[in-house]
Chains A and B, each alone.
Chain A
Amino acid sequence: MTRLNLVLLIAVVVSAMYLVHSQYETRRLFVEHEKTLKEAAQLEIALERLTVEQRAQATPLRVARLARDQLQMRNPAPGITQYVTRPGFVREASQ
């Protein structure tokens, strides 16, 4: 009888300790998860910001100016364009 009680007591204590540990582990993982989510959100924001930045750097105005001033390019005109048609290729109505 005493032996059984002793065994049960040990079992209870162990399981209690394990409970504490797993609770601790849960919280630790939860916090880690939170942190990662936050980081993901931050990265998403950074992506959005960089996309905007890229768009701002690639506006037609800027591209046209750089092409003209720095690369000495000019607008294509039908006179200097060679049009080719790919056989069997049907262009979509727009773009």
Chain B
Amino acid sequence: MRSRSVQLSSSPLLTSKTPVWRSQLIVATIALAFAALAVRAAYVQVIDNSFFKRQGEVRFARTLELPANRGRILDRNGLLLATSVPAPSIWANPEDMERDPEKLRQLARLLGVLPADLEKKLANEDKTFVWLKRQLDESVAKEILALDIKGVYTIKEYKRLYPEGEAAAHVVGFTNVEDVGQEGMELVFQKQLAGRSGSRRVIKDRLGRVVEDIGEAVLPVDGVDLQLSIDNKVQFFAYQKLRDAVLEHKAKAGSVVVLDAQSGEVLALANYPSYSPDKRVNLSGEQLRNRALTDTFEPGSTMKPLVISQALEKGIVRPESRIETAPGRLTISGSTISDAHPQGTLTVSEVIQKSSNIGTVKIAMQMQPKDMWEIFTQVGFGQKPQIPFPGVVSGKLRPYKTWRPIEQATMSYGYGLSTSLFQLARSYTVFSHDGEVIPASLMKIENPSVTAGVRVMSAEHALAVRKMLNLAAGPGGTAPKAQTVGYSVGGKTGTAHKQEGKGYAGKKYRGFFVGLAPIERPRIVVAVMIDEPSNGRYFGGDVAAPVFSETVQQTLRLMGVQPDMSVKPQTAVRAVEESF
């Protein structure tokens, strides 16, 4: 058998001659293709790469907002009055939501709503956004996310917390659900507290994880912390005593202001009724109003010490000058002024002690209207207090040129002008700060010794009036209930008919008390106002003085002030019970 071998090298196909240009054409075509690729690559990579870079970024890069933390509000000792914590909000997209009845039931339970209500919220399937609940606890939000319901999402939001609650509500104020200040310091300092949010560009991977930064991030600027002059303990005690008094006397409302007598800082400012800043439902204006700053009233007898001090300053009387107040009635241009309890001849000190209208008027009428107007103006009546707070009022004080004699007379005992309790408290710093009236401040003052006052009277006369005020708060005065254990106090009661429309309301009163302690070197000024006490007693000495007394007692103790009066030691010694 003869095998047939194949001679590949002598294949007839190879022997046929092909033209050289064919292979050259192929090489050229392939080269061209490569060249085209190279050009395209160069175009993509070098020439127009910004377009592609941008397109790439659009697909993977995201801008993240970096929210700024809202500043905290602190009291003078650095304790929290307001702070923000994250509180996620839950929202749903009803259009493409998973509606597993079991999961929805659990969701309703976690949200704290009835399943039927939840159904109702999600009923409209055309909607793409429904709030389920705003500002939940973070742990609850986590549980909800763990249910893993399609179409339910969270958004990071912040919630403001107020650990002090209603006691400090009027000063601190509150924010709305968007974390924007609405009232009080939260509103006044909204800009500083809010800070500025920043942003950063990042690249996210397929799973939404951040894998890379692009460029420099704009860092958020956190809001600044605000340190108030308020002392949270003083604030709390003042509020508590005020609330007790308002309830006891069945009054409509009340306010209390505690000022540091040397620096002018507001240690406490409380009103009742108040509200809880965390739970604001059905709030009325009555609760929201910061009466101490926004309500004015006729200050009544609390004006007498100011008038007397000016008389001392002008050399019209001396503390021991004698004034005839009998028979307890005095007629000025047809109008009669009377004393509640007619007295005989009184010294100027006793005029304050007994709060004699006749005595005060007789002294006041020896003064020029301008002199009286001057003292009222210098201590701040008729002008807005220089503190940042929404709705601060200035009260009324008419120019002295329009005063008729009877008006000058009534103004000397506090009718015919109006003031807020805050202004009243501040005006008494003229006595506490040795004749200088000092500006009040709601912010903590770092260096209180440099507080500059405006001299209104000599230190000697300020002390003389303090001693008169001490008498008024003493056994023979109008407000013995203002006394405290261990601390000498001085102050002046006031009781004023409330104005209603054009006239005075028959049986509606305001009782107030403003005073200072201790007498020799005052540390605090306290003003208390009780509005419409209707449980029998309504005199300032009965309704407001006890609040003053308790507030002073607690405040001086908290400030570590040593008693200036001797106290009978009553150290508790209790016999140990016999054991058998």
Known: A52-B83, A78-B563, A80-B570. A61 touches B557 (CB 8 A): no
Closest A-B pairs by Cβ, 6 of them: A78-B486, A55-B163, A60-B236, A79-B570, A78-B563, A78-B567
- Across the interface, do B570 and A49 meet the contact criterion of CB distance under 8 Å? no
- Across the interface, do A61 and B260 meet the contact criterion of CB distance under 8 Å? no
- Across the interface, do A31 and B209 meet the contact criterion of CB distance under 8 Å? yes
- Across the interface, do A52 and B80 meet the contact criterion of CB distance under 8 Å? yes
- Which of chain A's residues has its CB closest to B447's CB? A93
Decide yes or no whether A18 CB sits under 8 A from chain B. no
Q: How far is the CA of A79 from the CA of B209 in the complex (A)?
A: 67
Query: 1/0 per position for B544-579, CB-CB distance to A under 8 A?
Result: 000000000110010110110001111110000000
Tell which of B449, B562, B572 touches A80, judged by Cβ atoms closer than 8 Å. B572
Query: What residues of A have a CB within 8 angstroms of the CB of B83 in the complex?
Result: 48, 51-52
Decide yes or no whether B130 CB sits under 8 A from chain A. no
Q: Report the minimal beta-carbon distance from B572 to chain A, rounded to whole angstroms.
A: 6
- Which of chain A's residues has its CB closest to B572's CB? A80
Query: What residues of B have a CB within 8 angstroms of the CB of A49 in the complex?
Result: 85
- Across the interface, do B560 and A91 meet the contact criterion of CB distance under 8 Å? yes
Q: Report the minimal beta-carbon distance from B154 to chain A, rounded to whole angstroms.
A: 15
- Across the interface, do B236 and A59 meet the contact criterion of CB distance under 8 Å? yes
Known: A34-B210, A78-B487, A78-B567. 13 other contacts (CB 8 A): A52-B80, A55-B163, A59-B163, A60-B233, A60-B236, A60-B237, A77-B570, A79-B569, A82-B571, A83-B562, A94-B263, A95-B77, A95-B559
Decide yes or no whether A68 CB sits under 8 A from chain B. no
- List 23 interface pairs A-B (beta carbons < 8 Å), by A numbering: A30-B213, A31-B211, A48-B84, A48-B85, A51-B83, A52-B161, A55-B79, A55-B164, A60-B233, A60-B237, A61-B236, A75-B554, A77-B553, A77-B570, A79-B485, A79-B486, A79-B567, A79-B568, A82-B569, A94-B265, A94-B448, A95-B76, A95-B231
In A40-94, the 8 Å CB interface with B consists of 45, 48-49, 51-52, 55-56, 59-61, 75-80, 82-83, 85, 91, 93-94
Q: Report the minimal beta-carbon distance from A7 to chain B, rounded to whole angstroms.
A: 26
- Which of chain A's residues has its CB closest to B560's CB? A91
Query: What residues of A have a CB within 8 angstroms of the CB of B240 in the complex?
Result: 61
Q: Report the minimal beta-carbon distance from B229 to chain A, rounded to whole angstroms.
A: 9
In B236-287, the 8 Å CB interface with A consists of 236-237, 240, 260, 262-263, 265
- Which of chain A's residues has its CB closest to B563's CB? A78
- Which of chain A's residues has its CB closest to B557's CB? A76
Q: How far is the CA of A59 from the CA of B165 in the complex (A)?
A: 9
Query: What residues of A have a CB within 8 angstroms of the CB of B262 in the complex?
Result: 93
Query: What residues of A have a CB within 8 angstroms of the CB of B237 in the complex?
Result: 60
- Across the interface, do A31 and B210 meet the contact criterion of CB distance under 8 Å? yes
- Kindly state the interface size class of chain B when it binds its partner: 35 or more
- Which of chain B's residues has its CB closest to A85's CB? B562
Tell me if A's interface is mostly helix, strand, loop or mixed: helix
Decide yes or no whether B86 CB sits under 8 A from chain A. yes
Q: How far is the CA of A79 from the CA of B484 in the complex (A)?
A: 11
Query: What residues of A have a CB within 8 angstroms of the CB of B209 in the complex?
Result: 31, 34
Q: Report the minimal beta-carbon distance from B115 to chain A, rounded to whole angstroms.
A: 30
Interface residue total, chain A, C-beta cutoff 8 A = 28
Q: Report the minimal beta-carbon distance from A24 to chain B, rounded to whole angstroms.
A: 11
- Across the interface, do A94 and B559 meet the contact criterion of CB distance under 8 Å? yes
Tell which of B77, B79, B485 touches A77, judged by Cβ atoms closer than 8 Å. B485
Decide yes or no whether A21 CB sits under 8 A from chain B. no
Query: What residues of B have a CB within 8 angstroms of the CB of A82 in the complex?
Result: 569, 571
Q: Report the minimal beta-carbon distance from B155 to chain A, rounded to whole angstroms.
A: 16
- Across the interface, do A45 and B86 meet the contact criterion of CB distance under 8 Å? yes
- Across the interface, do B80 and A55 meet the contact criterion of CB distance under 8 Å? yes
Query: What residues of B have a CB within 8 angstroms of the CB of A27 in the complex?
Result: 211-212
Q: Report the minimal beta-carbon distance from A69 to chain B, rounded to whole angstroms.
A: 16
Decide yes or no whether B478 CB sits under 8 A from chain A. no
Q: How far is the CA of A76 from the CA of B236 in the complex (A)?
A: 17
Of the listed residues B80, B262, B263, the one surrounded by the most CB atoms of chain A closer than 10 A to its CB is B80
- Which of chain A's residues has its CB closest to B72's CB? A48
Query: What residues of B have a CB within 8 angstroms of the CB of A91 in the complex?
Result: 560
Q: How far is the CA of A60 from the CA of B231 in the complex (A)?
A: 12
Query: What residues of A have a CB within 8 angstroms of the CB of B448 in the complex?
Result: 93-94
Q: How far is the CA of A85 from the CA of B561 in the complex (A)?
A: 11
- Which of chain B's residues has its CB closest to A27's CB? B211
- Across the interface, do B164 and A59 meet the contact criterion of CB distance under 8 Å? yes
Q: How far is the CA of A53 from the CA of B265 in the complex (A)?
A: 28
Decide yes or no whether B301 CB sits under 8 A from chain A. no
Q: How far is the CA of A25 from the CA of B457 in the complex (A)?
A: 77
- Across the interface, do B163 and A52 meet the contact criterion of CB distance under 8 Å? yes
Q: How far is the CA of A48 from the CA of B212 in the complex (A)?
A: 29
Decide yes or no whether B232 CB sits under 8 A from chain A. yes
Query: What residues of A have a CB within 8 angstroms of the CB of B165 in the complex?
Result: 59
Q: Report the minimal beta-carbon distance from A20 to chain B, rounded to whole angstroms.
A: 15
- Which of chain B's residues has its CB closest to A79's CB? B570
Q: How far is the CA of A76 from the CA of B563 in the complex (A)?
A: 13
Q: How far is the CA of A78 from the CA of B78 in the complex (A)?
A: 27
Known: A48-B85, A55-B163, A83-B563. A93 touches B449 (CB 8 A): yes
Q: How far is the CA of A76 from the CA of B384 in the complex (A)?
A: 39
Q: How far is the CA of A83 from the CA of B486 in the complex (A)?
A: 12
Q: Report the minimal beta-carbon distance from A93 to chain B, rounded to whole angstroms.
A: 5
- Across the interface, do B233 and A45 meet the contact criterion of CB distance under 8 Å? no
Q: How far is the CA of A91 from the CA of B559 in the complex (A)?
A: 10
Known: A30-B211, A77-B485. A94 touches B76 (CB 8 A): yes
- Across the interface, do B236 and A45 meet the contact criterion of CB distance under 8 Å? no
Query: What residues of A have a CB within 8 angstroms of the CB of B212 in the complex?
Result: 26-27, 30
Query: What residues of A have a CB within 8 angstroms of the CB of B486 in the complex?
Result: 77-79
Q: How far is the CA of A83 from the CA of B561 in the complex (A)?
A: 10
Q: Report the minimal beta-carbon distance from B525 to chain A, rounded to whole angstroms.
A: 14
Q: Report the minimal beta-carbon distance from B491 to chain A, rounded to whole angstroms.
A: 19
Q: How far is the CA of A91 from the CA of B556 in the complex (A)?
A: 14
